[in-house]
Structure 1
């Protein structure tokens, strides 16, 4: 199935402004149906969840449809879908839930490839519990994890690792890591925030016990989603208010849910399922077709981008070199601050941000001191936009 990019772009009002958005890893643009779903839910009628009035039923429907949509997207039962304000908030919450069972002498393992949201919450929880922290190191020569440094033991309680780096695009050998962790009796918590924007997720196939993602990275509103087996969630006892539900997954969701955000997040899944029109009856099957089309299209765009960047020779250093990676490229410019490049490109209507993007550990492992330029591709990007980016960089290097 070939992606119809022109038809896809017609659903994004922000693209009418002529900007070329290469900042998708920080948050994608939003299609009109997502915004319309948010507005329709907010303007109601809408009340707290219930089974009597139409306004209560609207709230209940927003929750049940959200769980069903993300069950289809992530490949878990609907009762294994937990809503959160963000992936960071969910990870902090679950670090506290899981750490209740940790004891001095236990250990956890985190990775040098991860966004800090899948590192610091675990380290801080380990410090409180008196638990040892070990690392899977990053090999700068491959921009991938060095599995020779991954040594889980029978004292390992948790391995936290990304499915794809938010700055390098690197997709580490997640299933191998998960299998080794499970052999040692450890749980595996996967940051899938960047991965889920480019690949259809199958939590079990990846080997994840917990998988967290953020709908605003793949065309939805700002919120977070955690997926796990309902049976595993039932073993965790979060701190909660006495009157609040103790059912799974409600026991992990504190306070009244933002029904309008749930509706928008559901609309994003439905939009993705319709990207590659087909006759498949199930939403999961339609998502499979859509993500296959998106992946093939993004590979073509990435090849065009990387070929153009290589044309600059030693003037640019491309740090995204892993064999298996998403269409996200980190680069530095010889003798220039990446923020200068960001400002220059923005003046041309090309948005490519500079920074370290909360990826403190990989940034440090790569011995990067100054900000780097991140170019992230999304399904609404075009070959012409890549040419605009390359032309902008060429003009900058001639200044």
Structure 2
């Protein structure tokens, strides 16, 4: 679908029951609102008939279909092999699981590379696993002037001893989008694996994990209209080389060997419905082609909304915008001279404008920017954000600083 396709915002908003509250939502980086079709998919699956997976009766087949549909949907969403799509409760849980799975083979002399741009869910599990095994952690910094990853440090940090590089595809705090293919080339040249946190990225751009060069890619459907869960994608052969701890009678098949306990079939169905909802915004063609069209339209819409906010803040003497990277999502972090970001956020909330303040678990980046653990005010429009929502945000900021 051609990138110039535009979203019908009025029609899009009718799919989101929660928008009737009158709240102007600018917290898409923390999680989007949910369309009715997703809620209905969750309810229809949960109320059955439903049982454990099997092929004999309808309840068993419904469970099988929920799993198969989920793997197929996220194979299209990520350009992955459906046999390599793993369900997880959260990106944090998947990070800890795979740090344990992979870390058991590390030891003294091995090196793990993390960045100060990342959400802590893609830092601390690796740092802690390295400490348990006696491996060394190497850090890649953030340039506070550009809010970008210090790419000159990547080549210095990655070398023959590197076992894994963990990096975000887009900062949940700043929106910064590092050059993942370039990092992948350096990691793979050193014989290392690349673990990419795509939680923020996947809500704003069409994902192609093969083009990115990610060995592991994680995203969370609740960031793009789905229920609260997470997805990890990797090549089946790579997953087959990893031996997790598991219950004796549970299957050893990939990817099921990484999914502990009975799966929440209703959440899988809801996540699948979220992918299909996004695809429905992208015109004609196969699901992956429609997803590409939808994200082209989403990126254009969100960029236009954010430009209005940036223009306003540029004229506000007290404001400092920290989201400065040339390559970033429609996410903006600002601080205000003489005013706590949390105080600004509370003022806006009193006018039914949701723009939260904090470091949002990206504490390393927040500290590097000089914002400490308090962070700043994060503004993140979503595809359903209206022009009126943006005006209410700007009017609220103007009133606060008048």
TM-score calculated relative to the size of structure 1: 0.98
Match of 1:58 among 44, 55, 62: 62
1:335 aligns with 2:321: no
Q: Which has the larger displacement, 368-377 or 126-135?
A: 368-377
> Matched residues in 2 for 1:80 and 1:335: separation?
50
> In the alignment, what sits opposite 1:167?
173
Provide the C-alpha distance between the structure 1 equivalents of 2:133 and 2:269, rounded to a whole number of angstroms: 38
Structure 1 SS opposite 2:29: helix
> Partners of 1:112 and 1:343 in 2: how far apart?
28
Residue of 229, 232, 251 corresponding to 2:238: 232
SS of match in other structure, 1:25: coil
2:363 and 2:245 map into 1 onto residues whose CA distance is 30
Q: Aligned partners of 1:396, 1:358: CA distance in 2, in Å?
A: 27
Partner of 1:264: 270
Q: Deviations over 1:53-90 (max 9, x none)?
A: 10011011000000000000000110010000000000
Q: Distance in 2 between matches of 1:340 and 1:142?
A: 26
In the alignment, which residue of structure 2 is the partner of 1:242?
Answer: 248
* Contact in 2 for aligned 1:337/1:371 (Cα 8 Å): no
Asked whether the 8 Å contact 1:159–1:181 carries over to 2, the reply is: yes
- What is the DSSP-based 3-state SS (H/G/I as helix, E as strand, rest coil) of the residue aligned with 1:24? coil
- Taking the aligned partners of 1:308 and 1:82, their CA distance within structure 2 comes to 42
2:23 pairs with 1:19: yes
State the Cα distance separating 1:126 from its structure 2 match.
0.1
The verdict on how the C-alpha distance between 1:371 and 1:147 changes in structure 2, with shifts beyond 3 A counting, is: closer
Q: Please report how far the alpha carbon of residue 386 of structure 1 lies from its aligned counterpart in structure 2 after TM superposition.
A: 1.0
CA contact (8 A) 1:221 1:265 kept: yes
Q: Among 350, 358, 363, which residue is 1:360 paired with?
A: 363
Shift of 1:338: 1.1
Taking the TM superposition and a 5 Å limit, the aligned residue runs for 1:291-310 are 291-310=295-314
- State the alpha-carbon separation in 1 of the partners of residues 14 and 231 from structure 2: 27
Q: How many residues align?
A: 395
Alignment partners' CA distance in 1, 2:260 and 2:108: 29
Q: Which runs of 4+ in 1 moved over 2 A?
A: none
Quote the residue 1:323 is aligned against.
Answer: 326
Residues 3, 297 of structure 1: 8 Å contact kept = yes
Aligned-partner Cα distance in 2 for 1:65–1:350:
36
1:74 aligns with 2:78: yes
User: Contact 2:111/2:163 (CA < 8 Å) preserved in 1?
Assistant: yes
Give the alignment's Cα RMSD to 1 decimal: 0.8
Aligned to 2:291: 287
CA contact (8 A) 2:198 2:218 kept: yes
Q: Is the 8 A contact 2:319 2:334 kept in 1?
A: yes
Offset at 1:371? 3.6
1:29 to 9, 13, 33: 33
What is the SS of the residue equivalent to 1:271?
helix
Instruction: Give the Cα–Cα distance (whole angstroms) in 2 for the partners of residues 259 and 311 of structure 1.
Output: 50
Q: Is the 8 A contact 1:304 1:383 kept in 2?
A: no
Pairing of 1:133-172 with structure 2 (within 5 A)? 133-150=137-154, 151=156, 152-172=158-178
**Does structure 1 conserve the Cα–Cα contact (< 8 Å) formed by 2:366 and 2:375?**
no
Show CA shifts across 1:205-255 (max 9, x none): 011000000000000000010011111101000000011010000000000
- Gaps of at least 5 residues in structure 2 are none
Match for residue 225 of structure 2 among 219, 233, 236: 219
Could you tell me which residue of structure 1 aligns to residue 347 of structure 2? 344
1:294-344 CA-partner distances (Å, limit 9, x unpaired): 1111111111111111121x2101000001010000001111111111111
| Range with greater deviation from structure 2 (79-88 or 362-371) | 362-371
Shift of 1:275: 1.2
Alignment partners' CA distance in 1, 2:212 and 2:12:
29
**Structure 1 residue 391 and structure 2 residue 369: aligned?**
no
| 2:208 pairs with 1:202 | yes
- Superposed CA deviations along residues 31-72 of structure 1, whole A, max 9, x for unmatched, are 000000000001100101011110011011000000000000
